[in-house]
Structure 1
């Protein structure tokens, strides 16, 4: 097939330069969140930025790796450890002082980049460009993202996701590199996963996500990258385990297993935590399908049983996801082992 015919067979989206698609995401993101750009510092922004002495000097960056994020405001009751988030605040403060516009603009731009990364990652799964674009735009514009993007103190979410998605893109990227460049590529991917860990605790799932995303390549065990890719996954899991161990010991500022020191019935009873977690899956489903009542800090509701409609829905959702994952894992494992089994 000639080059011209091949280009004509590609969709309009595929023919667009990626930089234009990225620029479009940024423009759409900024327009969608334009109403928050002139917003003031609110709630935890005062503690993390306005009252935080540590961010006022870049020389304090080493302290961010040994202190909680509230220590700079002389608050010792927090157990949040997010050094990369605090470094970002410190850099912004050193350049723009307390210009809330810039502090709002950064998460909006990061969120736009993340939507673009989602688009690229979905395309690499051999899904149509149109479907990838629709999914990425849904990610960019869905109202459930509002708090993470519009709230300055929520920077850890788009920033950590930026590192994690960047890592996935790099680790699943160019395959025709020299051995040295390939090793550097995987080292950079691991480093970005580590940055995601250090941005927010929940991104410790990075190794698992990398493994799931790599499922598509299991059948090609003869590929020269097979071993190094799975070694990378192993190292990312080890990094995650080391991070969790550190958070439970030397980086556990309150000597508890929560992120705050306030004790409630919910934090004292493991069954209530499990049953509540399962039951509120219904609420998350509603937020995704019918995003309404999106307000800050909803009252804590405790569910003591899973034997209710919402509890059974949550349980069914978990079982379905686990079953799908196990079946997918089993299928790939069979494909992986079939040559050896004859």
Structure 2
């Protein structure tokens, strides 16, 4: 075990690889068809305005989501293009650049749906559709608004679980979720002070308190609570209210995620983060050794570049 508290790092799974965000750089490593590991490195460009916003509680969550989606799309694109290139036969490649671009666009759009749906467009869909469905079914059953909110939350969770289960049945997404598990294992191993070898990393859990999947489930729980402070008379008012309160729900949920992560070592309070861990049983899969090796390679390269940047600034 290390005597020093390790830095807090995050990442995300991409097609056939993992991206890790360091202090000074974002690094993606992907496994190519020839079994080589290719890297994509994007230095962070300091932004004083965003840095100041990320110091403000409740607002920093919104800024973080937008920033993560913007930066993550670059790495998703890199992995999609690498995958498309590997899956394109020499004969198909010879047919011209236009066909390759169409294939890449298809892959990129597919990955974007999985990677961004939960945090942007998908959050709106999973906010409005359950409210509409609950109102359609139960609007005349009773008047208790808190009970309506609870049922809306239940419907939202059912929709979310069905969606995650459905996409996890496809081979591409299943492998994406395996890399998600590999990402968590590496971060947990590092935070535990373990040596980053495949054998040792594989011993750690694929679940992690700080995961975006935990954030999703917290938005459902926080939404039920926040919505209970407001009332509505028509479905239109209810839908508009959900849209206006969405930034509030996201901001509070981010703080709850940070709080539960900080309390995860306290015997009783650690159970606050369990709902998020349960959801990760769907959004992560056990990775194989090759996938863990890619994740380790990405993390080590990120650490190396971060140390180089620190050395240059010192």
Q: Would you say same fold, with TM above 0.5? A: no
Q: TM-score, normalised by structure 1?
A: 0.24
Q: Which has the larger radius of gyration?
A: 1
Asked which structure has the greater RCO (Cα within 8 Å, sep 6+), the reply is 2
Normalising by structure 2, we get a TM-score of: 0.25
